[in-house]
A and B are shown apart, each in its own frame.
Chain A
């Protein structure tokens, strides 16, 4: 049986159990959300023992080299000594402003206590004082003095509900990251770009769009923003204004349901994209938002001729509770003695 040592205490792992699940079962509080290797909330550091390569997929080389790994994706062969992500990776921040972009989307601006090096479109984990962690993508540009996040209200959602209803400017949080490959890399300014997303998948795309424009990207840039209904669209005026300033930029808001009206296409996002961009071979693309849509779009675009290395996708995977809990882990570290 594999074992994990944390703060002087050993925790046994069941057959097939991840380090994260084993520690949570032992009552240890480890920030986590997706439990699927996508959000990077569950980062830990190995101090002894071998970390399987699978547990470091998607991590920056500098983090890998220092022994960091994703505890939800870590199934060690033998004993592993670990430590929590720690202060060296986290940046304290305060909420600067909270502003509604629509009924269901909140713009959260955060002021980190020290500068965060990031690229627009990457994501950070937001860690609340009680340890609740969720990832959000960055819509702002690094030169701005605050970080901009777009948070969609999830029914019964713990982090989004708190941000919408209780959080106030000045509240303290911690940030971990940035992470992810969804950003603009300057070069090949004539290459057509395709940005597509649903809901708050617009956040990283908005950041990437402005990054590309400010780098003088001259090739066509298509932005498809999908929502169920017109009320799910936001930043519509801002994006239309950008479209009238930059002739290479095409903004296509679309909704699945509702009346046809000026400037909004009704239809499924993939069909709308296919009609507007029938031959995307050789393009670069970024896909963000609803996981199943992101994955199916990625496959379709790959089959339509985009190279995998030009396809960047961030699936906004929801939180999933650990197997034995089904509800929020409320255990405290001291419960580990049970």
Chain B
């Protein structure tokens, strides 16, 4: 059972294009969130390389790639943002940019839907509910 899920997940990641696709997506995605006044303040960081590496971890995770994060990690990792007011509106904005980024890179719609489903599944953890 569990291997089955893992296989399915890795195949989504593979279909999207694996690591090179994440590399291509991260600049686009990061640029979108930094340009969006609703959420840019969460992503301001003098260390843009580090911030970009985190975005890549995010993209890899929601695209079903190899990821070491658990739901608990997501809760812990965003708790300081929830304290700063992170809510559903912000979450929807991130999902919007995620979708636009993948479509811009030419990822097929059904695959994007699958990614958005994975992202949506993290909502409760990210918003600490």
The residues of A with any CB-CB pair to B shorter than 8 Å are 295, 298-299, 302-303, 305, 307-308
Contact = CB atoms under 8 A, between A and B. Distances in A.
A303 B35 contact: yes
Contacts of B27: 302, 307-308
A299 B30 CA distance: 11
A154 B80 CA distance: 39
B48 interface: yes
The binding surface of chain A is classed by DSSP as helix
B31 A303 contact: yes
Contacts of B117: none
Interface of B: 27, 30-31, 34-35, 46, 48-49, 52
A308 B52 contact: yes
A250 to B, nearest CB: 26
Contacts of B46: 295
18 contacts: A298-B48, A299-B34, A299-B48, A302-B27, A302-B30, A302-B31, A302-B34, A302-B48, A303-B31, A303-B34, A303-B35, A305-B31, A307-B27, A308-B27, A308-B30, A308-B48, A308-B49, A308-B52
A302 B52 CA distance: 12
B128 to A, nearest CB: 25
A288 B118 CA distance: 41
Contacts of B30: 302, 308
Contacts of B35: 303
A302 B44 CA distance: 13
User: Nearest 6 CB-CB pairs, A to B?
Assistant: A307-B27, A308-B52, A303-B35, A303-B31, A295-B46, A308-B27
